[in-house]
Every structure is written in structure tokens, then in C-alpha cells.
């Protein structure tokens, strides 16, 4: 798809947890689960876009959930209803759903701000006739858990909600399994999940500069038939097979 920019009007932009915001607006492009969009801030001193994974697309309504982690996302969180902002077309390689068979089961494994893209995925899998359950991990305050249309298992690092421990500890403790696995979250979590479930589809969370594959700022290593190669997370991903990712120590 050619790079295009759509000017949208913010319908809602609110905090749903500590340092976590949800923004929504009408958006004309079709989106695949696992893709992301670039949001361009209105300040002239912040030229680089902010890539944010798609959380939910219902009709023309697009919802994104993002962490407030720096000056750019702090500014974004200050934009009010009615404010206009520029948004790119959907970018990146989403989850490989063409290989998923009706009647099978899927487990979605998410951590922190990696949880939002799994919401759109859960709806897409259910529409394909797949049984879905989610295992979601938080440091403290949970968010989006009531939006998932499936059974949800919760884990928290501090034991403030659900299972006391990480998502993989919870999976092992409950003996959870499925035919297909999908995951998004911190790199340490993704590495552990990939080692336990090699056939998992991972949505990598690397820092991106341009979001279009030009700046080479979001490279990860993957295994290929002729050795190890470097892939651009924004263009070749963000979704990769867990068995193919080479994890730097």
C-alpha cells in the first residue's frame, strides 16, 4: 500500500490506567490485526511520528491504546476531543491468520502495553471460528480486560490482581495449552514465551524512527536458510515467528 496520510478528528482521548491512554477517531482504511499506524504530532519540534499498534477497528472507528513514556506521547495525551491529527495508512506485517483453521484453539499472551493489539486479534480469531483465551500480565493496574470477548487469565508481578507471577508462570501452573499461540509484550517476556512455544507468532515492540523501513532504527535478527539476517521490525514485522527470532543477550 502506498504511504498516505489521513487527517482525523479525535473523538476521545483519555487515561484508562496509570500512564496508559486510549484514543479513538474515525478512520477510512481497512486494518489487519497486528498492524500499526503512525501518528504525527502537531508540534513542529517533534517531527518523527509515533507508531502505535491497532487495538480495535469497528466500522470506521479506530481505537489505539498507548503508553505515556516520553515527551511525544505526553503531548499526544494532552490532545482533546475535536483536535485534528495526521495518521498514516496501516503499516507492517500483521498476524498470519491465513494459517489458522476453524475449530482449533488459540492462546493470546500479552504483557503491559503489548496487550492492546491482541484485542483486535481476539475478535478476528473468533470470526474465523477459533476458540480463544487470553493470558494477560500487568505490573500493577490492569486495563482492557473487560473488552476481550473470551476467557481471560490474569497475572501481575506484585500479585495485586490474578495470579502472583508472570504470564508464563501462570500458563505452567494452570497447564494451559492451545493449537496456536500469539504474543505481544516486553522483549524479555517474548523471549521466554518463544522458548516455551517455538511456533508462537510474536509482535515485536522495538523503538521505531520512521515506521517505513528507511531509517533502520528497528532491526531484529532472524534465522534464515542461509544464516542469520537482519529484519526491519516496522516493515518485515512487527509479527515474526518465535522460532525464527535471534535474541541478543
Question: According to the model, what pLDDT value does residue 214 have?
Answer: 52
Residue 247 has pLDDT above 50, yes or no: yes
Final residue belonging to a domain, choices 88, 120, 148: 88
pLDDT tens-digit map of 7-31: 999 999 999 999 999 999 999 999 9
- Mean pLDDT of the 139-153 span: 95
Distance, in Å, from the CA atom of 156 to the CA atom of 240, rounded to the nearest integer, reads 26
pLDDT tens-digit map of 34-58: 999 999 999 988 878 899 999 999 9
Final residue belonging to a domain, choices 88, 108, 128: 88
Task: Note whether 155 and 210 are same-domain residues.
Answer: yes
Task: Note whether 101 and 18 are same-domain residues.
Answer: no
pLDDT tens-digit map of 196-226: 999 999 998 755 544 454 554 567 888 877 7
Q: Name which residue leads in pLDDT, 64 or 220.
A: 64
Note whether 79 and 104 are within 8 A (CB).
no
Strand (E) or helix (H) holding 133: strand 131-138
Residue whose C-alpha cell is 508472570: 166
Residue 63 has pLDDT above 80, yes or no: yes
CATH code of residue 13: 2.40.30.10
Task: Note whether 84 and 101 are same-domain residues.
Answer: no
**DSSP three-state, residue 116:** helix
- Mean pLDDT of the 229-243 span: 86
Final residue belonging to a domain, choices 88, 117, 144: 88
Give the number of domains in the chain: 2
Q: Name which residue leads in pLDDT, 226 or 97.
A: 97
Domain around 60: 5-88
- Mean pLDDT of the 73-84 span: 97
Amino acid at each position: 500500500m502506498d504511504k498516505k496520510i489521513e487527517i482525523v478528528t479525535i473523538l476521545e482521548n483519555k487515561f484508562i490506567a496509570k500512564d496508559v491512554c486510549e484514543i479513538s477517531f474515525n478512520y477510512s482504511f481497512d486494518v489487519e490485526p497486528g498492524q500499526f499506524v503512525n501518528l504525527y504530532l502537531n508540534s513542529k519540534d517533534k517531527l518523527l511520528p509515533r507508531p502505535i499498534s491497532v487495538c480495535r477497528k469497528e466500522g470506521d472507528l479506530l481505537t489505539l491504546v498507548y503508553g505515556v513514556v516520553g515527551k511525544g506521547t505526553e503531548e499526544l495525551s494532552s490532545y482533546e476531543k475535536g483536535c485534528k491529527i495526521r495518521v498514516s495508512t496501516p503499516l507492517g506485517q500483521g498476524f498470519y491468520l491465513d494459517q489458522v483453521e476453524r475449530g482449533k484453539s488459540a492462546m493470546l499472551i500479552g504483557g503491559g502495553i503489548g496487550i492492546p493489539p491482541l484485542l483486535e486479534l481476539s475478535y478476528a480469531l473468533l470470526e474465523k471460528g477459533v476458540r480463544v483465551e487470553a493470558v494477560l500480565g500487568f505490573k500493577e493496574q490492569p486495563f482492557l480486560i473487560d473488552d476481550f470477548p473470551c476467557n481471560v487469565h490474569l497475572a501481575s508481578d506484585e500479585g495485586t490482581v490474578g495470579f502472583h507471577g508472570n504470564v508464563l508462570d501462570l500458563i505452567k501452573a494452570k497447564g494451559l495449552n492451545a493449537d496456536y499461540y500469539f504474543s505481544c509484550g516486553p522483549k524479555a517476556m517474548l523471549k521466554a514465551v518463544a522458548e516455551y512455544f517455538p511456533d508462537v507468532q510474536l509482535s515485536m515492540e522495538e523503538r521505531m524512527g520512521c515506521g517505513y523501513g528507511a531509517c533502520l532504527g528497528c532491526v531484529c535478527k532472524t534465522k534464515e536458510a542461509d544464516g542469520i539476517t537482519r529484519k526491519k521490525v516496522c516493515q518485515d514485522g512487527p509479527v515474526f515467528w518465535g522460532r525464527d527470532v535471534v535474541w541478543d543477550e
